[in-house]
Chains A and B, each alone.
Chain A
């Protein structure tokens, strides 16, 4: 099998995300440290991909590039038929706002907004009406089992609860792609499992494409595909069971 074909989606769905020949390196003093060294990847609709790799291997950088908040020095990222490097900062922001959901290791909830307001923020940014926002937020809050914490502030919640809210916020506006950066990394094993169940369950249920960066094989095994980022290149991992 040609090395290229390895990274083409084996699923029949058309590719939602195409990465071609991605290169990126960080300047550290006078040295240049390559972090992405020719990445190629196709992700199909509704696919769930787990991305493994050591700390500092460039997983987060790759994720940031997919979200359009970082731009590669070389190569091409194509999301839903749009080449990211052709877009302006504003267009990239709009693309991100509409089609991408983000879940972080450190939750990144806005401390001065309530649970419901945090979840409603992407909807509002996308121009939904208040009534609709209320309805959608209500639905998703009950989906994640926190229907009663509507008015709580993030610092009144436990870590697991905060992450559930973050997942709800990442999914509520129906993004095509959900990017999760070590969503369980900051949680105990049990809570982590619970969170993963919710994340996977919801994205399956909502038919979202999901890319999870994780350290945990246990988490990775729940994905459709497992990829490993090593020395700036991607490789398949273990025995993906599709």
Chain B
């Protein structure tokens, strides 16, 4: 076969430059690993959700839903007594904890279950009677049991709204392998009602309806209840976390983009280093396509090795990311237990394809260029440099064009998150194309100060950068991108955190807040004891209180979060409105005709002040006018606010979820705090009492927790970038071994040479960092003002934090320094004669 010697030459080249090859492989591996890990974690989350929903929903086509407290079980009785031909089953659903882990407790009636779920098809016939009769007994999936080290007959302690109940695991269901219904506990409906203290109420009625049965049932259904299609509801729930997951994917692609640039960079070096060789081969009669194939094959192999390593690392990394992803989804969206990594073939394949394709694309350009050039020019370095410099205007043009495209995309893609990301990527790629064009200017700018500072060595260093633009250009581009990515993500998270902090500071007008640790209901937060508000008001030092009730209501667009508030005189200040509100907003608000909606809710539902929302009330649908849109970063699904007294009247729900306490002036917080704690401890139910500042701290801790995954991704991008800087710089300097040898031969001391090399790499690092600042800032702007808005509906000001910039510059310098060290030490150790002889 033609080319074995050509390939052999390539192989030996890689072996001789093992460092470079290893770094190239590492770059690809890291890029692929990050993409794959995020992909797998995301996929696992989606699958876990889908499987759980399928198992929970079974053959359920529709559900009857009620108000925030669920629906009275008498409705089910009426349904059975009057519409017994419909397949229906009552469901009680709640949230419980075993240790730190959150579970969904599903209370079912086994005798009604047959048309719906397979959960209650029990292996042991005698079990049914036990399920129906035993108090505090439940079923757990075999998979979960294995994971938690539990078996049938064991006792577990459930934490339900901060009360504990000891229950017995009566039996396991499902197989140990499939993570079916992981995170779901099944019990008899009576047990569930008892555990959740939810007597007389159901959470929903599941139905399996034929199309012709839907309309009559809707006719029959009393006011205040809603018949919803299960599929719609499931997909609506799944959509809640979609934006979050898309964001993760995009971030991981950023890692790959950085990785791709690195591959391009190393491939370029690898090819440029061998231009002479390739020239000889061409002279000996190797055709362009033969040579092209040989180069591509070699890079393909590197890509393949990198990809395979990346796959392995990605799977390992995915295991780590998985719980971060699931924790964030649980914190922000819905309860789902993702304990099993789903090695979806399509994700693995996509990862492999991305790795290989990126390698091939990145190396195709230099390979093409190497084979295009005329063989006789192989010996002329100046030709390449001339070409590079000649290409600059074109790069500039294409870069500007691409950035312009990005701008257009961002402006005209309306609400599409994907197009938003496309715009972001256009900006990044366009900017990276501009970088080489800016290098000559920059190096000319720093030429004089450097020369003044470091003399001849300084001049050599700056000159070298410009003179070898074909090499330094892409390297600096790659560095710029890597640093910019870390800056951009850093600014975004930082701005977000600052905004949330400020928002919390403004929202939490009260001095002390009381709430119940966590709720066992998926629709409403756990209520406080009824007599608590009056008792608190009696305490000395308490000026007034505000009350809040958090519930999930049904609207025409699916479930919405409602906060019903009993405002104190100052809690109005907690609202910061976006744009105009209706006139006399607070006065109108107190009449109960208005609702206030949060910014994400307005964004997602395309609502404006003056529009209306339709909510399901016990008396049927009711229309409310939107009085104002307020900033809120508590939920990306959105929040509605109305006066609690009106809410209580309409929904017949007088319960209170949170209590805000306002102190009289010059009252010591600590004194009242301990008094309040004393008061709450008298109630059987454990209550959380927190001072304003404590909540702020706690909330920011939760914020940090949910953004851990973003930080991890940022660190990974930094890791990829670090490897990139290292490999680019190293390759660059190693390639100059001969030049260095000549310098040494001409009389430079090893120390001077070391200085020159280090200075040069540091300068390149500095240039990249300087160039990265505008790009990083631009990325942050797009992330904050385009991506965040589209994904979550949150708008916020961007905050340019100097520490992030310093961090980026520092990290670029450290990487550059490290990268310069090895070649200069190597050079200092070898005799110049030897290097002069090479090649």
Contacts and interface: CB of A to CB of B under 8 A. Distances in A.
Contact between chain A and chain B defined by CB under 8 Å: yes
Interface of A: 64, 67, 69-70, 89-90, 93-94, 96-98, 100, 102, 108-113, 117, 120-122, 124-127, 155, 169
Interface in B809-839: 837-839
Interface in B541-588: none
A97 B290 CA distance: 13
B5 A102 contact: no
A127 B2 contact: yes
B285 A98 contact: yes
Given A97-B284, A125-B2, A125-B284, 12 more contacts: A69-B282, A69-B376, A94-B285, A94-B287, A98-B285, A100-B285, A108-B276, A110-B280, A121-B284, A124-B2, A124-B5, A125-B286
Given A70-B374, A124-B2, A155 B837 contact: yes
B9 A113 contact: yes
B375 A90 contact: no
B285 A125 contact: yes
A124 B287 CA distance: 13
B287 A90 contact: yes
Interface string B277-291: 100111111111110
Contacts of A69: 282-283, 374-376
Nearest to A166: B280
A93 B374 contact: no
B286 A97 contact: yes
B2 A121 contact: no
Interface string B433-457: 0000000000000000000000000
B664 interface: no
Given A89-B288, A96-B285, A122-B285, A111 B5 contact: no
Nearest to B291: A93
B85 interface: no
A169 B9 contact: no
Contacts of A67: 283
10 contacts: A90-B289, A93-B288, A96-B285, A98-B285, A108-B276, A112-B277, A113-B9, A117-B9, A121-B6, A125-B2
Contacts of A93: 282, 285-288
A169 B5 CA distance: 14
Contacts of A127: 2
B82 interface: no
A112 B12 CA distance: 6
Majority secondary structure of chain B interface residues (helix, strand, loop or mixed): helix
Interface in B325-358: none
Nearest to B837: A155
A94 B288 CA distance: 11
B671 interface: no
Contacts of A97: 284-287
B4 interface: yes
A89 B287 CA distance: 8
Given A127-B2, A155-B838, A169 B284 contact: yes
A125 B288 CA distance: 12
Contacts of B593: none
B8 interface: yes
Nearest to A102: B283
Contacts of A126: 285
Contacts of A155: 837-839
Nearest to B3: A124
Interface residues of B, number: 30
Nearest to A91: B287
A100 B284 CA distance: 8
A117 B281 CA distance: 12
Nearest to A130: B4
A113 B286 contact: no
Contacts of A125: 2, 284-286, 290
A126 B5 CA distance: 12
A169 B3 CA distance: 16
Contacts of A96: 283, 285
A158 to B, nearest CB: 11
A194 to B, nearest CB: 21
B284 A113 contact: no
A122 B284 contact: yes
Nearest to B276: A108
Q: Which 7 A-B pairs have the closest CB atoms?
A: A97-B285, A112-B12, A69-B375, A112-B9, A93-B287, A108-B280, A96-B285
A102 B282 contact: no
Q: Which of the listed residues A69, A109, A169 has the most CB atoms from chain B within 10 Å of its own CB? A: A69
A111 B285 contact: no
B13 interface: yes
B21 to A, nearest CB: 13
A120 B3 CA distance: 11
Given A70-B374, A121-B281, A110 B286 contact: no
Contacts of A122: 284-285
B2 to A, nearest CB: 6
B682 interface: no
Contacts of B280: 108-110
B16 A112 contact: yes
Contact of A124 (B4, B282, B289): B4
Contacts of B5: 113, 117, 120-121, 124
Interface string B1-38: 01111101110110010000000000000000000000
Nearest to B6: A121
A46 B290 CA distance: 31
A93 B12 CA distance: 25
A181 to B, nearest CB: 11
B68 to A, nearest CB: 75
B163 to A, nearest CB: 74
B274 to A, nearest CB: 9
Given A93-B288, A117-B8, A121-B5, A111 B838 contact: yes
A89 B290 CA distance: 13
Contacts of B837: 155
Contacts of A70: 374, 376
A155 B280 CA distance: 16
Contact of B277 (A100, A110, A120, A124): A110
A15 B280 CA distance: 28
B839 A111 contact: yes
Nearest to A69: B375
A64 B283 CA distance: 9
Contacts of A117: 5, 8-9
A70 B12 CA distance: 30
A100 B375 CA distance: 15
A52 B4 CA distance: 38
A160 to B, nearest CB: 15
Nearest to B14: A112
B838 A102 contact: no
Interface string B136-170: 00000000000000000000000000000000000
A67 B8 CA distance: 26
B831 to A, nearest CB: 14
Contacts of A110: 9, 277, 280-281
A18 B813 CA distance: 61
B390 to A, nearest CB: 14
Given A117-B8, A125-B2, A112 B13 contact: yes
Nearest to B4: A124
Contacts of A113: 5, 8-9, 12
A5 to B, nearest CB: 32
A87 B315 CA distance: 53
Contacts of A94: 285, 287
Interface centre among A89, A90, A93, A120, by most B CB within 10 Å? A93
A100 B283 CA distance: 10
A93 B288 CA distance: 9
Contacts of B376: 64, 69-70
A98 B284 CA distance: 9
Nearest to A65: B376
A69 B276 CA distance: 14
Interface in B280-321: 280-290
Contacts of A100: 285
A33 B284 CA distance: 29
